[in-house]
Structure 1
């Protein structure tokens, strides 16, 4: 057997080439996307949407009168709003005794049917009433009643122009 001479390889003095740059680019792209989504979420949470809206607080007498009604005696926690879009839309919400809701609506709309407990807009609504254009008014009315215990009901009254 013959012996061969071996070559000596000179080592480099500087650092070798690594793939850290590629790894950082791959890691940076998803990080920037997540950071942008978080920034958009924070901006959305702190933006006040009600500023651009035409919803304004109004008197309950005006809101209910638009639908030909008056605030019932003994009503509590009344809050009334006007959505002053192209056609006005008044909304009133208040609490009243459950056993007086039917009598209030019968006195307010004597020619209309009584509250119904079926075919309401949502399963969470216990009773509702839709009244076509109210006599002497140009508004239609929707009333939704949700029982809050055996004695009290939350009433939502909406009057709007067709």
Structure 2
């Protein structure tokens, strides 16, 4: 048998394909999933999904009248709102002269109750009042008073149907 010689051909130096493309494609999928989850988390944190989203500004005369009271003459910085829900709930916040508080409460609630300085629920509140069935209606009123200075007090008023 005769042997035939085979020619040895050197390999050509052609840039080969690396596996980096496959590696990056596999790595891109979890990276995109994590980025999408972060975007959803950020969107959830910055959206307001509170229950009180349907709060509308209203006149303070309407808000206080719902609970049988009137805005005092010397009131400043009054802000009032109507909170949406199954039953109306009005809130008011204003500042008034400290010396006129007792007269204002007595005029708004002639049958009582009177302001109390204990058991107000918050240590920062100086006086409070809770009244049920105000003005002959099924309306409850809560008032919290915080003295800002010797002359002025902040009043937080809430009237609602329980």
TM-score interval w.r.t. the shorter chain?
0.7 to 0.9
Runs of 5+ unmatched residues, structure 1? 1-21
Offset of residue 124 of structure 1? 1.4
RMSD: 3.3
Distance in 2 (CA, whole Å) between partners of 1:150 and 1:68 is 27
- 1:108 corresponds in structure 2 to 108
TM-score normalised by structure 1 residue count: 0.73
Count of paired positions: 153
Distance in 1 (CA, whole Å) between partners of 2:80 and 2:137 is 19
Give the number of the structure whose alpha-carbon radius of gyration is greater. Answer: 2
TM-score normalised by structure 2 residue count: 0.73
Distance in 2 (CA, whole Å) between partners of 1:135 and 1:78 is 23
Secondary structure at the aligned position of 1:106 is classed as: helix
Distance in 2 (CA, whole Å) between partners of 1:37 and 1:95 is 44
- 1:87 corresponds in structure 2 to 87
Kindly report structure 1 stretches of 4+ aligned residues shifted beyond 3 Å.
32-39, 48-52
Taking a change above 3 Å as real, the CA distance of residues 129 and 51 of structure 1, as seen in their structure-2 partners, is closer
Distance in 1 (CA, whole Å) between partners of 2:75 and 2:92 is 11
Secondary structure at the aligned position of 1:135 is classed as: helix
